[in-house]
Structure 1
């Protein structure tokens, strides 16, 4: 335990809870990720409290003080959820746990009065610290030293902790991706993994009890995957996911009252070590994928698209050698899109999300030729997308192209081109041109026109021709030979009416 001299500023609601509990003679601390984040100089997303008070005591103390109890997670878990001033806090009684057959939930839970025992049940040392109101940090497992050394390790023996709760394996990858730390464990070390001298190289790999993950629910696994993908160092966490065999793990879904096992991400396994044409690429396919993910905005659709954008490379029918004898994967984007749809549907992402990611994957190669062909080809492409039925209006299409530009630039930046300032500037200029055209020159629906159907109706003598007139205007504007301006559209309607 080390005194911190009130270095940390706790939110008023947390201070109030700690004060109320300690005034009644109970021990109470901020615990878990909030302590880790405070020590790292970050603002915690939420604060959890651990206390020696039993749930009934927590309720009897906090309700008279104006807190609303919004949830009690049962005597098996000893967690009370309270709400006040638009804020929600979980307050957990010190407890111990014993695991059995379930892959995530403890078989037995019991209360204890000892902070050290409570912290010992937690997953990783950096999450197993407590903080009191006076700024004292309680660290029984070396979490502060691991924070300083940027190391992620389990509390106790890693294989045993993963056998207890299989979700910890995915959380390990997620925390590596969020914190950028190096994962270590005492037992189960394996050979090096990845390309030496790259940012993702692992001098040691580790063996996880992957078969244990089959008992985890898809929802929990998917949540961890999403948090991993949105991490600042997502590539590093994804490397651990693949190196430990966890990507090839399974989880389960419940259908009509029974459980069925499904794959997580085995489609990624063949990408590790898969060579590419060194004229263009500085990484193998897998580490190129990781670099592209890390270079992209932290938006889930973009990150998933980049994780899967080259997933078909190296497969039979896709991988060939060009005339120089270098690897070539012509057409991989189409097959990668097919595989992305299968993967994301299997993982039960919402259909609109799946459709957007599939669209991004299928189009990620479209920009590169246009660095040479320029705006004319660009206009033809935008026109086909606007008329293709993938988007309900120009706003949706523009948003999709903003994501596609991000995918293109991240993909490009993860090759030799990323070190070419002039070439990257050309890529960004192309992206800007695409978005400007999408916003200003390419309506998707008649409602995107600068004239309403009501106004066009007023110009027509034969009112039954309104749909034909609107369709005519849309096609003219999409062909870029008619500006999307009210006066020009009115004149076009008058001319069309004379001919019809």
Structure 2
């Protein structure tokens, strides 16, 4: 491994520790990413130097250190040229049932191998010296080459030690596109339909009940990393196959714990039949394909995770005249469910509102491929007045995201095979965003004329009413949002009022 892969600040730390007589290695995800030809997000170092010895080296080099974050875990954070690097002493760990993520006890150990043996997955349990020597005691390099994710040692023991590792397994599958392997699970039932992109030939044995000891914040962070990854569909299918979607975590409020379900509402989508005239896969695998079709934006991805949750429910599912399943109005039911799910997962109101709106509106484009701009204008006008977005910029952004949701959803059906239809969908998307951006103000502040300008012409008490009048005219499509046109309409309105007023006084 050429040392040019090491940033200068990392080389300085490794070199200084080595010069002081200590072992020091790059470790973990950085080694994995370098072997994959990727640029690591950060670089962690492990050493046999004790924390006070690391601090002594830092003092000698005149390096800044952060207050020992995680001092009990043997970690010193060194800052060189504004970049922080964690340097951790070789250690072992012991867990108990009181905390499903943090070790109950740690101790310093003397060997690199022992330190690496406590890590989660083989691809994260490798170390690299400054001279490029790779230390791989558990087959991580081979697993990288074969695109396999497996735990270091017994999976059940690793997951029992730290429950977050179960979610991390799904997240790494989503980020790397690897296949998760676990010995002893070959006879468990398959997950998904054969010959589909997300099919798993067997399930997996995860102690998902231990997730109840994980905090909502940690779980949500893993979910966000997973669903915004390149292979999010694979990660979500692993969550389905292991039962993690149906697991619980907890949130602590006012001194008491609340049980928080992760995503059990999605469990019924696996194997849920759809009309083959339109759909390639069952509802769950359609959902996964739509997610993987979309930009890696959190709001878009959450909208696609949740967009079809209402399908198959007793109050939604119907059979058409051919006897095929149909789910009229599923988007409204899905939006209700989406709001409840995102709220319990702790998202703020504006994010919940945005994603819920995306889910509720995701079916609106399809009919407009036939009805054209007139129907489009009525829809956008209605949303400008009633959607709850505060400004034209907010509504434009929301529609831009909705276009991506629509195209991803459309591209996960048979429509993906019809390039002309997909092109028409993209054109419709561009048209609606341009319509919202240029012709559909949401509030009076979006108008090309301001209340301050009108204050020179009419009393302050009349400003609000005249602005709302102009806003309604623009939203109706009868008046362009241009200063000259707005002022002309204003003067006509005032003359009309004056005429009516003079007539009343006769």
Residues 100-499 of structure 1: pairs in structure 2 closer than 5 A: 100-101=96-97, 102-189=99-186, 190-388=188-386, 390-460=388-458, 462-499=459-496
CA–CA separation in structure 2 for the residues paired with 1:8 and 1:146: 24
Deviations 1:160-195 (A, max 9, x none): 111111110000000000000000011234122101
1:78 lines up with 2:68 in the alignment: no
Match of 2:93 among 92, 97, 112: 97
2:21 alignment counterpart: 25
What CA deviation, in whole Å up to 9, does each residue of 1:6-31 have, x standing for no partner? 25521111111111111111111111
Structure 1 residue 454, shift from structure 2 partner = 1.5
Decide whether the 8 Å contact of 2:335 with 2:356 is kept in 1: yes
Once the two structures are TM-superposed, the CA of residue 65 in structure 1 deviates from its matched residue by 2.2
**Structure 1 unmatched runs, 5+:** none
Q: CA RMSD in A?
A: 1.2
Q: TM-score, normalised by structure 1?
A: 0.97
The whole-number CA distance in structure 1 between the counterparts of 2:372 and 2:79 is: 57
Check the 8 A contact 2:28/2:124 in 1, yes or no: yes
Q: CA 1:389–1:279 in structure 2 vs 1: closer, same or farther (change >3 Å)?
A: closer
* SS state at 2:343 partner: helix
Structure 1 pair 455–75 and aligned structure 2 pair: CA distance change class (3 A): closer
The answer (yes or no) to whether the contact 1:157–1:187 under 8 Å persists in 2 is no
* Aligned-partner Cα distance in 2 for 1:431–1:74: 49
Question: CA offsets, 1:223-258, max 9 Å, x none?
Answer: 111100011000000000001111111111112222
Question: Does the 8 Å contact 1:95/1:117 carry over to 2?
Answer: yes
Give the Cα–Cα distance (whole angstroms) in 2 for the partners of residues 255 and 223 of structure 1.
19
Contact kept, 8 Å, 2:3 with 2:130, in 1: the verdict is: no
Distance, in Å, in 1 between the alignment partners of 2:191 and 2:463 is: 64
Contact 1:158 1:187 in 2 (8 A): no
| 1:63 Cα deviation after fit | 3.3
Instruction: Work out the CA distance in 2 between the residues paired with 1:496 and 1:246.
Output: 62
Cα drift, residue 67 of structure 1: 2.4
Distance 2:437 2:313 in 1: 38
Task: Using the TM superposition, name which of 418-427 and 344-353 deviates more.
Answer: 344-353
Structure 2: distance between partners of 1:384 and 1:271: 32
Q: Distance between the aligned counterparts of 1:166 and 1:464, measured in 2?
A: 62
Distance across 2 between alignment mates of 1:52 and 1:156 = 23
**Alpha-carbon separation, structure 2, partners of 1:96 and 1:180:** 30
Q: Give the match for residue 39 of structure 1.
A: 35
User: 1: CA distance between counterparts of 2:395 and 2:247?
Assistant: 36
Q: Contact 1:456/1:493 (CA < 8 Å) preserved in 2?
A: no
Q: Does 1:68 align with 2:64?
A: yes
* Secondary structure of 1:459's aligned partner: coil
2:185, 2:202 within 8 Å by CA — same for their partners in 1?
no
Cα distance in 1, alignment partners of residues 364 and 154 from structure 2: 49
Q: Distance in 2 between the 1:63 and 1:294 partners?
A: 49
Deviation of 1:107 (Å): 1.9
CA distance in 1 between counterparts of 2:6 and 2:277 reads 54
Q: Distance in 1 between matches of 2:132 and 2:470?
A: 68
| Structure 1 range deviating more: 100-109 or 116-125 | 100-109
| Conserved 8 A contact 1:129-1:138 | yes
Unaligned runs of 5+ in 2: 498-506
1:374–1:113 distance in 2 versus 1, CA, 3 Å: same
Report the alpha carbon displacement of residue 390 of structure 1 after superposing the two structures with TM. 1.1
